[in-house]
Amino acid sequence: AEAITTRTAYEQLYLDKATMHVEEKRRIARAAAELVENGDSVILDSGTTTIEIAKQLTSHTKLTIITNDLHIASTVAFHPTTQVMVTGGIKREDVNVLVGNITENFFNAIRVDKTFLSADAVDLNFGVSNTTFVEQNVKRLMIKAAKEVILVADHSKFGNTALAQVCALHEVDRIITDSGLSLEMREDLERMGLPLIIV
């Protein structure tokens, strides 16, 4: 028997994701926010970890926050000097995320300081992956748009694969995860030369 949550194409509901590993996501978010300097331009990928990052950026000033996540755009009260840009696109009703050609064209036409990338799964060989193809190319363009790509994922995502590959691990500049990450996985990532922040 196989738990449904381990299947590569199974996508959990947003509200279910939001209740899982909450404290770990908050610790990851605090560490992520420490990497952001006032005046930075930042892409926040959609997800329950990146919305926690958004909440940690409310005291930063003169940021440009770019996202396709309507939860981030509509629920987080950033500093008055921060500009929030929403990509446009087709709304995925179940997760309040914008996708499609308009979204992709937006990311293809910009360059930013940092992208905070979320993941459904992270595997040493398959890399970062997502349960659906609909967000795959959007995430790839987020990576392309940034000077620095920071993967933010709690320990439960590691050692798993999802349906659609987003990128290889060498395309990520830094990984922030929590102390629940296995020692074996940590050592493997370090052997690959990937800078790790463990919180």
Q: Coil, strand, or helix at residue 119? A: coil
What pLDDT does 166 receive?
98
Give the tens place of pLDDT for each residue, 89-115.
999 988 999 999 999 999 999 999 999
Q: What is the longest distance spanned by two Cα atoms in the chain?
A: 53
What pLDDT does 1 receive?
41
Q: Coil, strand, or helix at residue 100? A: coil
* Residue in this structure with the two tokens 């290889």, named with its chain if needed: 168
If you ran DSSP here, which 8-state letter would residue 69 be given?
Answer: B
**Positive or negative torsion for Cα 54, 60, 61, 62:** negative
Q: Which tokens go with 4? A: 């449904």
Mean pLDDT of 156-163: 97
What pLDDT does 4 receive?
42
